[in-house]
Amino acid sequence: MGLAVARISWSWTTRFLFLFVGVVWGFNFLFIRVALADASPLWLSFLRAAVGAAATAVVITPFEGWHQLDVRGKRDALLLGIPNTMAFYALLFVAVESILPGVAAVLTYTFPLWVALLSPVVLGHRLGVRHWAAVGAGFLGVALISQAWSSVASQVSLVPVLEVLGAAVSWAIGTVVFQRRFPRHQMLEANAYQLIGGTVGLAILVAAFAPVPLPRASWTLGLSLVWLGVLGTALAYSIWFDLLGRTKAATLSAYAFIVPVVALLGSVVFFGERLSLFQLGGVGLILVSIYGIGRAAASMPTEDRAVAPPEG
């Protein structure tokens, strides 16, 4: 059921668009940290999803994006909002209260590792030696960052590390199912519906577990929501899907390691984030692992189907 994708040359326009997406998604982690001063994690995740869903609806409407899915497709997309948006946002935003944005971004981008592990079961993709070597390097990197073996208090506590990893696993589950369920021409509309489904799920979580305190109105919260919802969700996702429609998804995904690099550098500059030598080594291993998985996938002679974009 795979769909062949024509290769495109990486023009300067294409490079600029991808760099724009990488920078926007990298700074998402910084804006989450800033916005948490005015809203609880669940409220912020709900607001980000709601703004993103509304802005996405505006973006895709001129392109007749609402005429691709039948009733079953809409239902399935709404349900995929549970892992893709509800669980992912909730776990990530709760964790960022206790962990600095740079490490949060690096751990979130263990996402390709979990996709690699799930793909043989869900999608029937065979993984080569290079894949498994990259996966092993990634998990070693996670161990170095968390320093779970250490009896000395580290800069990163284990609980938020597990929360971010849970978010990454949730996103990976949603992604491989998303990839199996929807062909490329339905992806944009399916993404809009999964955002709507996730927004509804997050509204239920807010009502059940954190109805108060209400978010505090401020210019920083407003700016953060514009960045996270409009730029980081509606616009960046639309660009990503356009690029996926014109080149191999695995090849494009190989360059997504720029996102945690941007987030880590931004956190060092704006939040004074500092890591131990062990943790820096772990960050390096994870970045190498992410890139290695992307390159290994790109070298496989298989037809590609578009996948849901790695977050930001």
HSE (side-chain half, CA atoms, 13 Å) at 285: 18
* Position with higher pLDDT, 260 vs 116: 260
Report whether pLDDT(244) > 70: no
Report whether pLDDT(75) > 90: yes
Whether the model clears a pTM of 0.85, i.e. scores above it, the answer is no
* Position with higher pLDDT, 46 vs 103: 46
Mean pLDDT of 60-84: 87
pLDDT value of position 228: 97
In the predicted model, what is the mean pLDDT of the chain? 81
pLDDT band at 125 (very low <50, low <70, confident <90, very high): low
Report whether pLDDT(48) > 90: yes
* Position with higher pLDDT, 150 vs 194: 194
